[in-house]
C-alpha cells in the first residue's frame, strides 16, 4: 500500500482527501502547515507527497525547496494558481507533477499512480505488496479483507478502517486525536468512540484490554498495533 502525506490547510479539503484516498486504499497522513510537513518527512517514509501551495506559515514553493533538501520523495503540487510560468518554475524546482484546483480524487490518484510508476522505474524497485502483515494478522486494503492466523475476521467498515490504519504503522503509538482525524475524519470527538471500537476489535482478535496481544493502549498517549511478544516501551 502506498503511503501519502497530504499537506493542506483547508480542513474541509483535507478531510475529503483523507477519506477518498483511504477509500482508494492509500495509507494517509495529513498536516496543515509546511513545518509540520517537514517534520513528518524527516520522521516517516512516504511514497508521495501532495503539497498545497497556499499554506499559512510558508509558501508552498518555499516548502518544496526545503523538502528537496532532505528527501527525494515524489511531490505533486496542488494549487489554485494556473499560471504557466509558475508551474514550469515549480517543476524545475523539484515538483514531479501538479494539479490545478478544483480536481477530482480520480484525477489525483491517476497522477499519483503515474508518479509512483516513474519513481519505481528509476529506482528499479518492484511494486509493493498491497497486503499488510503484522504477526499473524493479514490485512488486504484493496479487498477490504482481514484474517488472523488464516481465519477470516468479520469486521465492520469502521473496525476494518481502524485496524488497517494501525497496521500501516506497526509499533507506532498513534495519538487519539490522529485516529479521530484520519479514521473518523473528525477534528474533534469523544474518546469513547475510539474505546468502543477498540473493544469490539479486541474481542474479534481474541484479546482484552487487560490482556492485550496486538492492540496496546498507552494511557493519555494513544494506541499501537504490534505483533505478540514484541518488546513494549
Find the helix packing angle between 191-205 and 157-167, rounded to 10°: 90
Measure the CA angle with vertex 46, ends 91 and 191; round to 5°.
125
pLDDT given for residue 177 in this prediction: 84
Strand order in the sheet with 97-100: 27-31, 3-7, 48-52, 75-79, 97-100
Q: Are 116 and 46 in contact (CB under 8 A)?
A: no
Per-residue pLDDT at 213: 93
pLDDT at 189: 58
Instruction: Give CA–CA dist 178/67, Å, rounded.
Output: 23
Q: What is the pLDDT along the chain (233 residues), one digit of tens a residue?
A: 688 999 998 888 888 888 888 888 888 999 999 899 988 888 888 889 999 988 888 887 788 888 888 888 889 998 887 777 877 788 888 888 888 888 888 888 888 888 887 776 655 554 455 678 899 999 988 778 899 999 999 988 888 889 998 998 888 888 888 888 778 766 565 667 888 889 999 999 999 999 999 999 988 788 999 998 754 44
* pLDDT value, residue 72: 82
Tell me the pTM: 0.54
Q: How far is CA 11 from CA 31, 175, 181, 186, in A?
A: 10, 19, 10, 10
Specify the pLDDT at position 232.
46
Q: What angle, rounded to 10 degrees, do the helices at 34-43 and 60-68 form?
A: 20
Question: What b-and-e string marks burial along 170-185, b requiring 16 or more CB atoms within 10 Å of the CB?
Answer: beebbebebbbbbbbe
Give pairs for 220-224: CB < 8 Å, separation 24+: 221/173, 221/175, 222/173, 222/174, 222/175, 222/176, 222/178, 222/179, 223/166, 223/173, 223/174, 223/176, 223/179, 223/194, 223/198, 224/166, 224/169, 224/170, 224/171, 224/172, 224/173, 224/174
pLDDT at res. 126: 47
Amino acid at each position: 500500500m502506498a503511503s501519502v502525506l497530504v499537506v493542506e490547510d483547508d480542513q474541509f479539503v483535507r478531510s475529503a482527501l483523507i477519506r477518498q484516498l483511504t477509500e482508494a486504499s492509500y495509507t494517509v497522513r495529513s498536516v496543515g502547515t509546511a513545518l509540520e510537513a517537514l517534520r513528518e518527512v524527516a520522521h516517516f517514509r512516504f511514497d508521495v507527497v501532495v503539497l498545497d501551495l497556499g499554506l499559512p506559515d510558508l509558501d508552498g514553493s518555499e516548502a518544496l525547496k526545503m523538502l528537496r533538501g532532505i528527501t527525494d520523495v515524489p511531490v505533486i503540487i496542488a494549487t489554485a494558481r494556473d499560471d504557466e510560468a509558475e508551474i514550469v518554475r515549480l517543476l524545475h524546482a523539484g515538483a514531479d507533477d501538479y494539479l490545478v484546483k478544483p480536481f477530482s480524487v480520480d484525477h489525483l490518484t491517476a497522477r499519483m499512480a503515474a508518479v509512483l510508476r516513474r519513481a519505481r522505474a528509476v529506482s528499479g524497485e518492484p511494486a509493493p505488496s498491497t497486503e499488510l502483515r503484522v504477526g499473524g494478522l493479514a490485512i488486504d486494503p484493496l479487498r477490504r479483507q482481514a484474517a488472523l492466523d488464516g481465519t477470516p475476521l468479520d469486521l465492520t467498515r469502521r473496525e476494518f478502517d481502524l485496524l488497517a490504519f494501525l497496521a500501516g504503522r506497526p509499533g507506532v503509538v498513534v495519538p487519539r486525536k490522529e485516529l479521530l482525524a484520519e479514521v473518523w475524519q473528525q477534528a474533534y470527538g469523544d474518546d469513547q468512540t475510539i474505546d468502543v471500537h477498540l473493544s469490539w476489535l479486541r474481542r474479534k482478535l481474541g484479546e482484552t484490554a487487560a490482556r492485550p496481544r496486538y492492540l496496546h493502549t498507552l494511557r493519555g498517549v494513544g494506541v499501537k498495533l504490534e505483533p505478540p511478544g514484541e518488546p513494549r516501551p
